[in-house]
A and B are shown apart, each in its own frame.
Chain A
C-alpha cells in the first residue's frame, strides 16, 4: 500500500498535467467555438423575430384591408361625400381611426423587419470571421482573437434585447391623420 500511493499520485499528477496542457492548447479554439455558438443562437433568434414580424405585419395588412373595404362600402352606401360626413358616421369614424393605427403598426413592423434582416447579416459576417479565425487556430499554433471576441461580445449584448422578443415601442408610433385615411378611402372625391 505504501508503494501504491506514490504511484497513484504520480499517475494522477501526470494525467492532470497532460489534460491541462491539452486544454490550454485548445483554449482559443474553444473560445471561438463558444463565440460561434453564441452568434448562431442569436442569429437564429433574430431570424425568428424577423419571421414573427413578417407574420404579424401580414396579419395586420389583412385586417387593414378588410376594414378599409368595410369603410369604403359604408361610404358608398351612405353616400358620404365629405370627411365631415364620414366622421359623423360612427362606423366610418372608428374604421378610419383603426386604419390609421394599423397603418402605423404596419410601418413599424416593416422597420423592424429591415432591422432584423440587417442584424442577421451582421451576425453572419461575425460568424464567418470567427470561423475563419478558428480555421487558422486549427492550422497554426495561435492567433490573436481577443479583438474579435470583444467585438462579438459587444454586438451580442447590443442585439440581445431585440433577440428575445419583438420590440415595437407603440408610444413612439406616428399615427397618420384621419385626413390621409379619408383621402385614401375616397380618392375619387
Chain B
C-alpha cells in the first residue's frame, strides 16, 4: 500500500496538470494521496472544516442556498464517511496482509465505482446490496433525494451513458460484474491504464486502490463528470475499504457538495473530500452546468475520454489487424500446403517412374511463350504454302496449255497425214516417190506442216519438263511449309525465316520463268521431210482404201460374221475387225451388257451411228487408234455407262470437248499420254499416271 502510495505520489504532478483544467486542484490530490497518514489528517481537517460549514448552515435551513448550508443529516453522513475512513486507515496500518488488502480493495473500489456510476445514472435510486452501512446510509440518501440539490444530481445522472446505466442496473451484483471481466481484458485494461495512468491519476486519487477500481470501472465512469471524479477521488481517499453503499452515498453527497457548494456530512463520513472546495475555488453552479453541457455533451463523451477511447481503439485496431493478418497469412500458407497432396502419394514422387509427373498445379502462371511469334510463323508458313500452291497451279495450268497445244499439233499432224494419204489414194497410185510427193504441192505443204508441228511438239517438251519439275518443287516446298507449320507451332528454332526466303526466291524464279516461257532457245533439229514422207509411205495401203479387212486380221470373215449377227448369232462378234453400218444395226439389238469390239481398228461414222443404239453398259472399242470428231459425237450419244477407248494415244481438244458431254459414268483412256481439258466432273476418267495434272486441273475447274 505504501509503495502504491509512493507511486501515486510520483505520478501525481502529471495528473495534477491534467486535472487542473477540470477543477481538481493539485493540493487536493496531494491531500488525497496520503490517504493513510497525512492526507487523512488533511482530509479530516477538510472534512471538519466542511462539517463546520455544514453545521453552520444546518442552523439555517435544509435548503442549499449557500455552499455552507448543510442539514444535520448531511453532516452526519459526512461524519460517518470520515469515521469509516479512519477505520479503514487504522485497519490498513495494522493489517499485516497488505497484499490481500490490495486485492480486497480493488474489488471494493470497483464495486464502489460501479455503485457510484449506478447512482449517478439512476439518480441514486438503486442501492447496492445490503451492507452494514447501507442501513445507515439509506435514510440519509432518501433524505437527500428530497433535498433541493437532488435535481442537480439527476441532471448529472442523465448525462451518463446508456452502457453505464446497465452497469448501474447491475450495481447490486457487483461481484458478478467483476467476474464478467475476464483476466485478459482486465490485464489489457490494466496495462493500458498503467501506461496512461500518469496522465489520468488526477481523475482518481493517487491511490493504487483507486487505480484498481478505475480499472474495473468503465471509462464513462471516469469521464462522466469532473464533479463526479472529484467525488470519487475524495471518496476513495476517504474510505478505501468502505463498502459500495458508502461510496454511493459519498458520491451522491459529494455531487451535491460540488454542485451546490454544500458539503453534507453524514454520520460516518469523514470531512476530507468536500474540503477541497476551500483550497481551490469551486465553480459555481452555472459554471458547472455549462461545463456539463459543453464537456460531457449529449453522449457523455468528453474530449479527454475521446482521446482515451481513440487510443484504445487504435491500439485494438492495430492488434486486430496484426493478429488477423498473421492468421490469414498462416491460413493461406496452410491452404497452400493442404492444396498440395502428399508427395508420397504423387506419381512423380519416384524419380524412377516413367509416367508423367502429376505435379500439382501451383498458382504461378506459365510464362508467356512467344505465341504471337509462333502464330505469325505458322501464319507465314501457311501463307507461303498457299502462295506456293497458287503458283504451282499456274504452272500446272501452263503445263496443260502446253499439253493441249502439243495435242493440237499432233492432231494437226495426224489430220495432215490423213489428207496426204487420201490424196495418194485418190491418185490411184500404190506408191509415190519422195520426189513425186514433193512435186505435189498439197503433199509437200502437208509434209512441211507436219515437220513444223512436229518440231513444235518437241520443242514444247522442254518447257513442259521444266514446268513439271518446277511444279514438283513447289509441291515439295508447299508440303515442307506445312510440315514446318506443324513443327513451328510447338518448336522454337525452326528456320522459318530462311525457309520463307528460300521459298520466296524459288517462287520468284518460277514466276520469272513462267512469264518468260518460250521455245526460241530450244534447239531442236526438225525431222526431215524425207523421213516424214517415208513414215507416211509406210502407211500407204497397197490397195486403195476400202472396207477390206486389215492385214492383221486377214482370216476374219467380217461379212460372214455380219450375216451371222444379223441372223441373231452374236457368238463371233468379238472377232470383228470391221463393222458395216448394217452389221452395227444388227449388233445393236444384242441384249448383253458388255460389248467388246476390240478388234475394230476403224469405225466409220455410219457404223458408229448405228452402234450407239445398243442398250448395254460397257462398250469396248480399244482397237481404235484414232477417233474423229464425227465418230466421237455419235459415241457421246450412247446411253451406256462405261466406254473403253484405250487404243487412243491422243485426243484432239475437239474430241475431248465432245466426249466430255457424254452422259455415261466412266471412260477409259489408258493410253492417252497428254492432259485433257475435261469439263464433265460426273465422268470418271482412267488416265495414265502422267496425266494426273490434267486430271487435277479438271477437278479444279469443277
Contact = CB atoms under 8 A, between A and B. Distances in A.
B196 A3 contact: yes
B627 to A, nearest CB: 24
A136 interface: no
Given A43-B348, A63-B483, A168 B475 contact: no
Interface string B504-530: 000000000000000000000000000
Given A41-B364, A127-B348, 19 more contacts: A3-B199, A3-B308, A3-B311, A8-B314, A11-B314, A33-B336, A40-B362, A52-B491, A63-B483, A63-B486, A74-B689, A90-B469, A94-B473, A94-B476, A120-B357, A125-B351, A164-B369, A165-B491, A166-B492
A105 B480 CA distance: 12
A55 B367 CA distance: 21
A37 B364 contact: yes
Interface string A41-70: 101110111101101100110010001000
A72 interface: no
The binding surface of chain B is classed by DSSP as helix
Interface in B432-477: 468-469, 471-473, 475-476
Nearest to A52: B490
A124 B493 contact: no
Task: Give the most central of A30, A47, A124, A170: most B CB within 10 Å.
Answer: A124
A51 to B, nearest CB: 9
CB-CB nearest 9 A-B residue pairs: A124-B348, A125-B351, A52-B490, A165-B492, A90-B472, A94-B476, A166-B491, A124-B357, A131-B343
A101 interface: yes
Contact of B492 (A26, A67, A90, A167): A167
B571 interface: no
Interface of A: 1-4, 6-8, 10-12, 15, 18-19, 22, 26, 29-30, 33, 36-41, 43-45, 47-50, 52-53, 55-56, 59-60, 63, 67, 74, 77-78, 90-91, 93-95, 97-98, 101-102, 105, 117, 120-125, 127-128, 131-132, 134, 138, 164-171
A185 to B, nearest CB: 16
B336 A97 contact: no
A94 B318 contact: no
A52 B498 CA distance: 23
A93 B688 CA distance: 19
A120 B348 contact: yes
A7 B196 contact: yes
Given A30-B333, A164-B369, A164-B492, A11 B319 contact: yes
Interface in B364-382: 364, 366-367, 369-370, 374
A168 B493 contact: yes
Given A7-B311, A170-B494, A121 B366 contact: no
Contacts of B350: 124-125, 128
Given A29-B333, A105-B483, A97 B476 contact: yes
B578 to A, nearest CB: 34
A45 B314 CA distance: 48
A90 B692 CA distance: 14
A40 B333 contact: no
Contacts of B483: 60, 63, 98, 101-102, 105
Given A26-B333, A30-B333, A164-B369, A18 B491 contact: no
B319 A15 contact: yes
A169 B351 CA distance: 28
B351 A128 contact: yes
A77 B330 CA distance: 76
15 contacts: A1-B307, A3-B195, A11-B315, A15-B319, A15-B322, A22-B326, A36-B340, A40-B359, A98-B476, A124-B347, A124-B348, A124-B357, A128-B351, A166-B491, A166-B492
A63 B362 contact: no
Interface in B288-325: 307-308, 310-311, 314-315, 318-319, 321-322, 325
B348 A165 contact: no
A40 B336 CA distance: 13
Contacts, number: 191
Contact of A36 (B333, B362, B482): B362
Contacts of A168: 487, 491, 493-494
Given A121-B351, A132-B343, A18 B326 contact: yes
A124 to B, nearest CB: 3
Given A4-B307, A19-B322, A56 B487 contact: yes
A8 B311 contact: yes
Contacts of B349: 124, 127-128
B702 interface: no
Interface string B245-258: 00000000000000
A90 B466 CA distance: 10
B357 A47 contact: yes
A27 to B, nearest CB: 12
Interface in B17-56: none
A170 B353 contact: no
B688 to A, nearest CB: 8
A42 to B, nearest CB: 9
Contacts of A6: 195
A125 B359 CA distance: 11
A52 to B, nearest CB: 4
A50 B356 CA distance: 10
A4 B314 contact: yes
A44 B366 contact: yes
B362 A19 contact: no
B495 interface: yes
Given A3-B311, A15-B319, A44 B491 contact: no
Contact of A8 (B318, B325, B479, B491): B318
Nearest to A118: B354
A137 B348 CA distance: 21
A77 B689 contact: yes
A11 B573 CA distance: 120
Interface in B355-406: 356-357, 359-364, 366-367, 369-370, 374
A30 to B, nearest CB: 7
B646 to A, nearest CB: 16
B582 interface: no
B337 interface: yes
Contacts of A33: 333, 336-337
A167 B493 contact: yes
Nearest to B197: A3
Contacts of B192: 7
B489 interface: yes
A127 B490 contact: no
Contacts of A127: 343, 348-349, 357, 359
